[in-house]
Amino acid sequence: MAGTNLLTPSDIRTLSDRLGIRPTKTLGQNFVGDGGTVRKIVSHAGVCVGDHVLEIGPGLGSLTLALLEAGAYVSAIEIDPVLASALPETVAARHDRPERFAVAQFDALKLADHELAVPPALDRMVPTFLVANLPYNVAVPALLTAFEVLPSLTVVDVMVQLEVAERLAAPPGSRVYGVPSVKAAWYAEATRGPLISRSVFWPVPNVDSALVRFDRRREPSADRVAVFAVIDAAFSQRRKTLRQALASWAGSAARAEERLRAAGIDPQRRGETLTIDDFVAIANAEA
């Protein structure tokens, strides 16, 4: 679509210099300077003209511009005040419909305590997509927070470091299946997407990345907090049987066994073999 000027590697350097940005590891600041990559993320998410997208961590605006190019409305959350205040100008200079964009400056982990910014061209706030190159150090909590706070999100497509992508999309029984895999499965079905080379970033990180797409599912009928407590207990002692691992959660190993049997789960199994629905059954079981 005409009217958008994506950021090149030299644009990334020039913009950073002008803003006095020295990318920090603490904030996971690795900026993408490759139009092919940001377009790939947008098309992997399936964003179309008129969709309303939440972006966490827009940085200098690389992915933001590709979302706008696809005809989306974008509400962004950026923690870094310098980056957040520079974005409207970057968008206005590079896209012909800047009224489709708005940014709010806050920590995405505190989403529950803040209002998202509504693009001037929209009259209400109902983002159905989350598309982001997530800051690596808070990728999983940021993702789970967005699912929890924004029930309107139906598709979530994020770039995370490869190891986290594999973990998020892992099936039960796999070596990397863990707390993030099961908690994400409460909200959505995850599918691992394409690998993204570290070479598209500035500065270049020491790991590769990958996309993960989540399609929201109907949440199980159970108390989420209670189910997540069972998940945390089961994985806190990964090598132990569920009978042992859930002992302090249930009050004793014998009580854990009763709960497990009531849920139809063999107490000798390990947490890493259970689906989210198995964890729901344990939380809902009467001992």
- By CB under 6 A, residue 77 contacts ligand SAM: yes
Choose one: 45-53, 71-79, 213-221, 272-280; the region binding ligand SAM (CB under 6 A). Answer: 71-79
CA distances from 130 to 30, 140, 197, 215 (A): 19, 14, 22, 11
Instruction: Tell me whether residue 137 or residue 252 sits nearer to ligand SAM (CB atom).
Output: 137
What is the C-alpha to C-alpha distance for residues 107 and 78, in angstroms, rounded to an integer?
7
Answer for which of 19, 109, 176, 262 binds ligand SAM (CB under 6 A) is 109
Is residue 111 within the footprint of ligand SAM (CB under 6 A)? no
- Under the binding rule (CB under 6 A), the answer on residue 209 touching ligand SAM is no
The answer for residues whose C-beta is within 8 angstroms of residue 141's C-beta and 6 or more apart is: 109
Residue 118 interacts with ligand SAM (CB under 6 A)? no
**Rule CB under 6 A: is residue 66 a binding residue for ligand SAM?**
no
Residue 212 dihedral angles phi and psi, to the nearest 5°: -135, 135
Shortest Cβ 30–ligand SAM spacing (Å):
5
Q: Where are the alpha helices (DSSP H) in the chain?
A: 9-19, 35-45, 62-69, 81-94, 139-149, 162-168, 179-187, 224-236, 242-245, 247-250, 253-262, 276-284
Is position 133 an interface residue for ligand SAM (rule: CB under 6 A)? yes
Structure tokens at 109: 């982990």
> How many CA atoms are closer than 13 Å to the CA of 280, on its beta-carbon side?
14
Query: From the CB of 5, what's the least distance to ligand SAM, in Å?
Result: 15
Q: Is residue 220 at the binding interface for ligand SAM, with CB under 6 A as the rule?
A: no
Cβ pair 127, 75 in contact under 8 A: yes
Assess 79 for contact with ligand SAM (CB under 6 A): yes
- According to the binding rule CB under 6 A, does residue 56 interact with ligand SAM? yes
Residue 47 contacts ligand SAM per CB under 6 A? no
139 binds ligand SAM (CB under 6 A): no
Q: Does 31 bind ligand SAM (CB under 6 A)?
A: yes
69 binds ligand SAM per the rule CB under 6 A: no
Q: Tell me the closest approach of the beta carbon of residue 183 to ligand SAM, in angstroms.
A: 18
171 burial level (CB within 10 Å; 0-12, 13-18, 19+): exposed
What is the number of other CB atoms lying within 10 angstroms of the CB of residue 22?
Answer: 9
CA distances from 283 to 234, 248, 263 (A): 12, 14, 8
Interaction of residue 67 with ligand SAM, rule CB under 6 A: no
Window 9-28: residues binding ligand SAM (CB under 6 A):
27-28
| Number of CB atoms found within 10 A of residue 36's CB | 10
| CB contact set of 279 (below 8 Å; sequence gap of 6+) | 182, 227, 230, 231, 234
Closer residue to ligand SAM, CB minimum distance, 31 or 279: 31
Kindly state whether residue 29 participates in binding ligand SAM, applying the rule CB under 6 A: yes
- Residues making contact with ligand SAM (CB under 6 A): 27-32, 56-59, 62-63, 77-80, 83, 107-109, 133, 135, 138
